[in-house]
Amino acid sequence: MDTSEARKIIHLDMDAFYASVEQRDNPVLRGKPVAVGGSRQRGVVAAASYEARQFGVRSAMPSSTALRKCPELVFVKPRFEVYKEVSRQIRAIFAEYTPLIEPLSLDEAYLDVTENLKGIALATQVAREIRAAILQKTQLTASAGISYNKFLAKLASDYRKPNGQFVIRPSQGLEFVAGLAVGQFHGIGPATAARLNHLGIFSGLDLRQQSETFLRQHFGKAGSHYYRIARAQDFRPVVPDRLRKSIGSETTFEQDLLTPEELTTGLQPCLASVWQHCQRTGLRGRTVTLKVKYADFQQITRSRTLFGVVPGPMPWLT
């Protein structure tokens, strides 16, 4: 047994977080299909309630597509300051059990409860107590995945949603992973899943039968990661206060930007927002990525890496 199997990791994930907060605060929305986001033709769904998900509405879906799938869909403008405050309340609950908290977003985090502050022997009991405390404090439900590493804990948290928890023990890891389709693996998106399928790799068991050399030939450094997770291995520790690796800003325009001059003007607020964050935090970077989404929601990205770390005002702001 490797040392990671001695860990007790919980992945806590709030259920339809933004939409659930809106339904909590506005009783009229309860039981209705709700989407948080823009209802305009160019809008995008930021979050969908479980009632909306029954119609196939998902986050990151164009609002126009969501409305076609669910004509009764109710759109609500996001209130990020409210979501941040609720998130702070939830993380305060986490901190009562362990200092080893690795937030992934406002609504999910990893917790290492191997040696927790309350001396509770079972991670499943810790997860139950945390979920009960969240419900009492915020009137919101959370789901939990419990396992001996982060990869399996995150997979497990999806298995009893909403308002449930699921555990994958060390003796179950290999079998659990073997039965998954590769597209169900966290970190393997549709494009990578399609490439794996093209190579005849459809399940975790298929993936485990490949050599690390073969996977690296086709997927580079990521191939080593796929080799490990096919064997239910993930040695990453839970890291509190992770160093932020990127800063971004984006907006949706009412009208198409067609000329270079329009693009330059339209980008200025996004660029200024990123640079102001850099000034406040002292962060610097050397790679700039531009993401462009067209009217038909086709998306492209382009990156440029500068030599050395940017020391002062971004040259593209001038």
Phi/psi of residue 222, nearest 5 degrees: -60, -25
Q: What pLDDT is attached to residue 111?
A: 98
Q: What pLDDT is attached to residue 28?
A: 97
Identify whether the C-beta of residue 180 lies closer than 8 Å to the C-beta of residue 36.
Answer: no
Per residue in 38-65, is it b (16+ CB within 10 Å) or e — as a string? bbeebbbbbbbbebbbebebebebbbee
- The dihedral sign for the CA sequence 117, 118, 124, 130: negative
Q: What is the DSSP letter of 255?
A: S
Mean pLDDT of the chain: 88
**Catalytic pick among 108, 115, 254, 261:** 108
Identify whether the C-beta of residue 42 lies closer than 8 Å to the C-beta of residue 49.
Answer: no
96 is catalytic: no
* Mean pLDDT value of segment 146-150: 97
Statement: residue 1 has pLDDT above 60: no
* Mean pLDDT value of segment 92-115: 97
Least confident of 154-158, 171-175, 235-239, 247-251: 247-251
For residue 293, what are the CA distances in angstroms to 57, 271, 274, 317?
20, 17, 19, 21
Q: What pLDDT is attached to residue 242?
A: 65
Phi/psi of residue 190, nearest 5 degrees: -55, -40
